[in-house]
Amino acid sequence: MHGRLETARLRSAALAGNPLGDPAERTVLAWLPPSQARGNRLPAIYFLHGFSAGVHSWTNFSAFTPTVPERIDALVAAGRLPEFIAVFPDGRTSLGGCQWVNAEAVGRYGDYLAADVVSFAEREWGALPRREARAVAGKSSGGYGALAAARDHPEVFAHLACHAGDAAFEYCYLPDFPKAAAALLGTDPASWLEAMRARARETRMRDADHAVLNVLAMAAHYSPRAGAPLGLELPFDPGSGALRPEVWERWLACDPVRFVPRHPEAFRRLSTAFVDCGTRDEFQLRWGARMVARALSEAGVAVTHEEFDDGHFGIDYRYERSLSVIAPRLARE
């Protein structure tokens, strides 16, 4: 590498005492370009991993395919991108991941990102402390988190990239409801989760577990209910599988397709917005990306929206495209 990778430990005030009892101390990874060693203050891009991933997913070896830090390193070394600091926080939870928002049944992951991680990167690695010098980028749940960060913290982030972010919930989540309902028959979310964890420790997760886990994690974010198992309310009746409209409406209120038009003033503060999705996305997120891009455009945001011939998985190469749009527009000293 021309630059270098560093890992550090961050104790997050926002995650202290979180409802799931997940660690408040987290690993943060950073890729630093050569000039940062000379004490230069550089802009930073904060990368949000997807559901069921973690901070170390960014450096997982894959034959023939470079990691995201390796891609960044090569692009900067070749002069195709200006220098910046890449920061990779950890959003793992005992439910499998987070949506990078403050959630009553999960924890304050929105504040963790916008306050704890950002201030840590500025202290530890010399990231430039200006909103115009900060971008947030992510894929899937990380893409959702990037949109939520622009909505909730427009004073922190001025640029975003959303790759195949969760959106248009009718298309991306509803198909998993009958799968989850079948798995939860005769049990409850907390008991199912305990059994799944034990099975995963002893052998591995089943392919069918992901749909159930995803529904539970999203319910913890979108329809929390104090006192219920895992502190969440299911969007369907556990006996019949029938959709519960009053709970489903709570989910829909959290859909970027709905919340982007409700917060035009926050999104209009963006200097850069990049949205993309594969035309063969297995979760039908192509349509949510289209709707979000249109909502951003109607709010007066200059958005770059692209589609490409691929699915949902193994598309880290698309960061090369979003970074080519965002990195040149980051403010500098």
Q: Predicted confidence band at 62 (pLDDT cuts at 50, 70, 90)? A: confident
pLDDT at 257 over 80: yes
What pLDDT is recorded for position 253? 98
Query: Chain-wide mean pLDDT for the chain?
Result: 96
Domains of the chain are 4-167+256-329 (3.40.50.1820), 171-252 (no CATH)
Instruction: Write down the residue that tokens 């009053």 correspond to.
Output: 246
Residue 204: CB partners within 8 Å, gap ≥ 6?
Answer: none
Distance of CA 113 to the CA centre of its chain: 11
Residue 40 phi/psi, 5-degree rounding, is -65, 140
Q: Predicted confidence band at 42 (pLDDT cuts at 50, 70, 90)? A: very high
Give the residue among 129, 227, 232, 226 at the shortest CA–CA distance from 180: 232
Angle at 87 (CA atoms; ends 78, 132), nearest 5 degrees = 85
pLDDT at 16 over 70: yes
What pLDDT is recorded for position 201? 94
Angle at 135 (CA atoms; ends 133, 138), nearest 5 degrees = 165
What pLDDT is recorded for position 38? 67
Q: What is the mean pLDDT of residues 188-193?
A: 94
- Contact criterion met (CB below 8 Å) for 220 and 103: yes
**Percent of the residues in the chain that have a pLDDT greater than 70, as a whole number:** 99
What pLDDT is recorded for position 61? 84
Q: Predicted confidence band at 90 (pLDDT cuts at 50, 70, 90)? A: very high
Q: What is the mean pLDDT of residues 107-135?
A: 97
- For 139, the token pair is 């894929």
Rounded to whole angstroms, the maximal C-alpha distance in the chain is 63
Q: What is the mean pLDDT of residues 111-124?
A: 97
